[in-house]
Amino acid sequence: MHALSIPTWIIHVSSVIEWIAAIWFIGRYGEVTRDRAWWGLSFAMLPALVSAMCACTWHFFDNAESLEWLVTLQAAMTVLGNCTLCLAAWWIWRSSQQTAIDDQ
């Protein structure tokens, strides 16, 4: 655990907790409004959470060479997460456009 300072650990852990809370709140919003696009966003956020957990795990074990595959997994999850978030944002936009047409 010597790879990061205590303040940096606080930032890392609180960011992961915040992301988990955001996933939960967005998922609940999707359920309450019955808008599957928002519910989909909560699932689209999961690869980014996995990416963050990979980084925290690797740092927790002092950036051990035997766990270097976590860096590759983190990078892959970041790319996948960016793509899923982009698709989810498009889905929300499309859903809002359809709602605007239906309201006219």
Position 60 scores a pLDDT of 94
What is the secondary structure of the chain as a DSSP string? Answer: -TTS-HHHHHHHHHHHHHHHHHHHHHHHHHHHHT-HHHHHHHHHTHHHHHHHHHHHHHHHTTT-GGGTHHHHHHHHHHHHHHHHHHHHHHHHHHHHHHHHHHH-
| 12-24 residue pLDDT tens | 999 999 999 999 9
In the chain, domain spans: 6-103
Position 100 scores a pLDDT of 73
Per-residue pLDDT of the chain (104 residues; tens, 9 = 90+): 677 899 999 999 999 999 999 999 999 999 999 999 999 999 999 999 999 999 999 999 999 999 999 999 999 999 999 999 999 999 999 999 987 777 76
* C-alpha 57 chain-centroid distance: 16
